[in-house]
Amino acid sequence: MKVLVVGSGTMGHGIAEVAAISGFEVKLVDISWDILNRAKERMMDSLRRLYERGAIKDTPEAIMSRVTMSVSYDVARDVDLAIEAVPENMDLKRKVFQELDRVSPQHAILATNTSSIPISDIAEVTNRKDKVIGMHFFNPPPIMKLVEVIPSKYTSEETTNKVVEIARQMNKIPVRLRVEVPGFVSNRIYLRLMQEACREVESGEATIHQVDSTARNKLKLPMGIFELSDYVGLDVALDLWKVIVGRGASDVKCNMFREKVEAKQLGVKTGKGFYEYPGGKYVKPSLPADSPVRESRLLSLAVNEAAWLIHNKIVNAQEIDTVMKYGFNFPQGLLEMADNIGLDRIVEELRDIYSKGYEAYKPNELLDEMVRNGKLGRKVGEGFYKYS
Ligand code: 3HC
C-alpha cells in the first residue's frame, strides 16, 4: 500500500514514521526541503530510540528506505491513502484537499488528521466526499496507540471500514465515532480537563503545581494537565478550546491559556509555557508529592462530558475509556476512575462548582439519573460498568 502524508511537522513526520514502520511505502510532502530534512532527522532520531528499546525489528535505515520526500503533489498520482497533517487552518486544508483530489487516483482515500475542523467542511471541496474521513493520531504518533476514525456525514461505510482496517495494520487501536462531533471524543474530554485545571488555578483554589501533582501522583497520569498542554502546544490547545466552544459546547471562563499564547509562550516548542523547557526540549517538570486537589474535582467536568457523549450515542463507556487509555496513556479509563471514586462524589463536585456560576458543570442528565438510581460506581457493584 502506498501512503502519502502531507505536512511533516510534529504530527506529520510521526504519522509517516508509523506508516513506514508498518511496511507501507510512504511519501512525505511539505513546502520546503529545509522542513523535510528536519523531519527526516526527527524520524531517524525517533526510530533509533524505538530500535534501541527493541520496539521495532527493522533497522531505522531499512524503515527510512521506504520513505521518499517531495515538495510536489505530483507524487500523489499513485497513492492509495493520503493523510493530511498541515496546520489547523481551514483555507489551507481545503487547498490541500483540492490538490489531493485533483492528483490522486479515483480509488484513493483522503484522510485528515485535524483535531478540530469539521470533516464534512473539508470533504465538500472534493469530488469524492464519500472517500474523505478523519484519522486522528496522538502525539507522539509512534508511541500513542489510538487512532480516532471520524466519518463525516458524507463518508461511505466502505471507506470507514477500510480506514479502521488500515489503522489496525498500522498497529494502532481504532475507535470509530458514530457521529462527528466538534473535538471528537478525545479533545472534548481533554478540553474539560484543561478547563477544570484552569478554573481551579484562576479562582485561587489551587496552584498549577498542585493540580499537576494530583494528576501525576494521585491519578497516575503520565503528565499533569498543564504539562500535557505545554507538550501539545498551548496554541494548539487554545485552538481546540475555541473551536469546540465556538461550535456549541458550554464554555468555562478562564484566561490563563489565552494569556500564555498572547505572550508567545507556547509550551515545549518555545522553551516556556506553564513550565520551562530549556532549548525547547521536553523535560519532566518537578512537582510536589502532595496536593490538596481532589481527584473527584479534577475529573468532574471530564466525566460530565463523557456522560454527554454516551447520552448522545456518539460512543459508549468502553470506547471513551479506550480513547483515554490509548490516546493519553491513562493507566485506567476515565470512567473506570470515576466508578472507583464514586459517581455521587463526582456529581457533588459538579453541583458545588455549578453553584458558583459555572454553567458547564450542570450535571448531565445521564449522570444525574445514574446517581438517583443508586448506580454510584464500584462500591455498589454498578456505575458506568457492572462489577460482580
Ligand atoms: N519516538 C520514540 N520514542 C519516544 C518518543 C518518540 N517520539 N517520545 C518519547 N519516546 C520514548 C523515550 O525515548 C523514552 O524511552 P526510554 O523509556 O527507552 O528511555 C520513553 O518514550 C519515555 O519518554 P520520556 O522518558 O521522555 O518521558 P515520559 O516517561 O513522560 O514519556 C510520553 C513520554 C510517552 C510522551 C508520556 O509522557 C505520555 O504518554 N504522555 C501523554 C501524552 C499524551 O497524552 N498525548 C496525547 C496528546 S493530545 C493529542 O495529541 C491530540 C491533539 O489533537 C491535540
187 catalytic per annotation? yes
Beta strands in the chain (DSSP E): 2-6, 25-29, 67-70, 81-84, 109-112, 132-136, 146-151, 173-176
pLDDT at 237 (0 to 100)? 95
Domain that holds residue 28: 2-176
Q: Rounded CA gap, 340 and 66, in Å? A: 46
Shared-domain flag, residues 249 and 332: yes
Among 176, 200, 226, where does a domain finish?
176
Q: How far is the CA of 259 from the centre of ligand 1 (A)?
A: 26
Are 159 and 299 in the same domain? no
**From the CA of 123, how far away is ligand 1's center (Å)?**
32
136: exposed, middle or buried (Cβ count in 10 Å: 0-12, 13-18, 19+): buried
Is 279:272 a contact under the CB 8 Å cutoff?
no
Whole-angstrom distance, CA of residue 314 vs CA of residue 45: 38
Distance from C-alpha of 106 to C-alpha of 23, rounded to nearest angstrom: 23
One domain for residues 259 and 199:
yes
233 vs 326: CA distance, rounded Å = 20
Q: Which long-range contacts (CB under 8 A, 24 or more apart) does 288-293 make?
A: 288/209, 288/210, 288/213, 289/213, 289/217, 290/213, 290/217, 291/206, 291/209, 291/210, 291/211, 291/213, 291/214, 291/217, 291/218, 292/206, 292/210, 293/200, 293/205, 293/206, 293/210, 293/211, 293/213, 293/214
**Options 136, 213, 296, 364, the catalytic residue:** 136
Mutate which of 48, 223, 269, 323 for ligand 1 pocket (most atoms within 8 A of beta carbon)? 223
Residue 234 sits in the same domain as residue 120: no
> 196 and 66 in one domain?
no
Whole-number Å distance, alpha carbon 17 to ligand 1 midpoint, is 15
- For residue 355, the domain's CATH number is 1.10.1040.50
Interatomic CA distance for residues 388 and 386, integer angstroms = 7
Q: Which three cell numbers stand for residue 23?
A: 511496511
Q: What is the CA radius of gyration of the chain?
A: 21
**Are 274 and 387 in the same domain?**
yes
Residue 197 sits in the same domain as residue 233: yes
Pair (164, 197) in one structural domain: no
Distance CA 119, CA 148 (A): 13
Structural domain count of the chain: 2
Do 272 and 368 belong to one domain? Answer: yes
Return the residue matching grid coordinates 511496511: 23
* 201 and 150 part of one domain: no
156, 176, 196 - which closes a domain: 176
Domain of 86, CATH number, reads: 3.40.50.720
- Same domain? For 41 and 159 the reply is yes
Does 162 lie in the same domain as 257? no
- The one catalytic residue in 8, 22, 187, 304 is 187
**Residue nearest (by alpha carbon) to ligand 1 atom 40:** 222
Give the model's pLDDT for residue 286: 97
13 part of the active site: no
> Which is the closest atom of ligand 1 to the Cα of 327?
46
Residue with CA at minimum distance from ligand 1 atom 36? 222
**CA 69 – CA 228 distance, rounded (Å):** 30
Grid coordinates in use for 5? 502524508
Say what the pLDDT of residue 116 is.
85
Only one residue has cell 528506505, namely 65
Mean pLDDT, the chain cut into blocks of 10 residues (388 residues total): 96 98 98 98 98 97 98 98 95 97 98 94 98 98 98 97 98 95 96 98 98 98 98 94 94 97 97 97 97 98 98 97 98 98 98 97 98 98 97
DSSP character string of 227-290 = HHHHHH-HHHHHHHHHHHHHTTPPP----HHHHHHHTT--BGGGTBSSSB-GGG---PPP--S-
The terminus-to-terminus CA distance of the chain in angstroms comes to: 46
Domain end among 126, 160, 176: 176
Atom 12, ligand 1: residue with shortest CA distance: 49
Distance (angstroms) between ligand 1 centre and the Cα of 245 equals 28
In whole angstroms, give the CA distance from residue 52 to residue 154: 43
